[in-house]
Amino acid sequence: MEVFALTGPSGTGKSHRAIALAHELDADLIIDDGLVIKGTQILAGSSAKRQPTRIGAIKTALFLDKNEAELARSAIVKLCPQRVLILATSAKMAEKIRNNLNLDSYNRVITIEEVASPKEIRKARILRKQHSKHVIPAPTVEVHKTFPDTLIDPLQVFLKHKSTPEIKSWSEQSVVRPSFTGYGKISVSHSALVSIVNRAAEEIEGVKKAGRAHITRSEQDVVLDIFPTIIYGYNLKTVSHKMQYAVKKRVEDMTGLTVKAVNVLVKDLSLKLD
């Protein structure tokens, strides 16, 4: 296994350049801020950017939690990558991460100055200092699982094919504002969730009324129980499936929460169309 490290002070744009650098190095995995990332998937770990304090963020990034470290090591062993890219604020921090994950010695340590110009680094520092924007080198659909209540913006990275540079593909990464910065945290009230659920359900043809909505919410996901009134003559199974899909999509799109289940329990039938 070949191991590479990209180092540089916090806020200099390491995560932003991680996907492009991994592509250039043919790295199978990116290890960044407590996450083990392969392509469009987060395989293991918990994001340091999810921690409520900076101390907690540092501990998470270093994989100091034994359970998280073991899960990360297992994921790496299972994948058996040829090359791994670790992101860290310094060579010393990168070495701690390497040791905690039982990875091989470094083939090369790359500094942020080698892959970014002074102007690009200054711009990254401004975005971090003034707007507290942090990049996670993974798609928003994956990041939402870790940041269910956080505003997340997608960011596209264009990658050149090595054999044919004129051909480009793109990969998605995400921009978040961590809890410990005091920015970007949103709270969705129970009444707002109910309104979203009801509106999505009642837009389905065959639904007379959405009825009562019962919401069971944990830190990262929600379970929705809906008790609608269906218009007589419509296929209950078909209408229910359409309602499940519509409610799940609307809630996830509008709130960033992960909908674990949508249970439809038909309460009544209506003979009236209006």
In 3D, which of 256, 268, 191 has the Cα closest to residue 231? 268
Res 158: pLDDT:
47
Over range 29-53, report the average pLDDT.
Answer: 82
Report pLDDT digits (tens) over 99-158. 999 998 888 899 999 998 999 898 888 777 765 666 666 666 556 666 655 555 555 554
With cut-offs at 50, 70 and 90, classify the pLDDT of residue 262: very high
Give the range among 10-24, 56-70, 71-85, 151-165 with minimum mean pLDDT.
151-165
Residue 264 pairs with which residues in a beta bridge? 226
User: Cβ contacts of residue 20 below 8 Å, gap of 6+?
Assistant: 115, 157, 159
CB of 174 within 8 A of CB of 135? yes
Sequence-distant (6+) residues with CB within 8 A of 161 are: 167, 168, 169
| Cβ 143 vs Cβ 157: under 8 Å | no
pTM to 2 decimals? 0.57
Residues 6 or more apart in contact with residue 190 via CB below 8 angstroms: 215
* Strand bridging mode 221-231 / 258-264: parallel
pLDDT higher than 60, residue 252: yes
According to DSSP, the β-strands at 168-176 and 153-160 are antiparallel
**May I ask the CATH architecture of the domain 190-270?**
2-Layer Sandwich (3.30)
Residue 168 has pLDDT above 50, yes or no: no
Using an 8 Å Cβ cutoff, are 194 and 201 in contact? no
Token pair belonging to 68: 């998280």
pLDDT in tens, 173-215: 666 656 545 444 556 778 888 899 999 999 999 999 988 889 9
Domain(s) labelled CATH 3.30.70.1350 in the chain stretch across 190-270
> Which tokens in the block code for residue 201?
């359900």
Q: Do the beta carbons of residue 226 and residue 259 sit within 8 Å?
A: no
- Tell me how crowded residue 251 is: count the other CB atoms within 10 A of its CB: 22
Q: So what's the pLDDT on residue 162?
A: 53
Q: Is 64 helix (H, G, I), strand (E, B) or coil?
A: coil
Distance (Å, rounded) from C-alpha 12 to C-alpha 122? 7
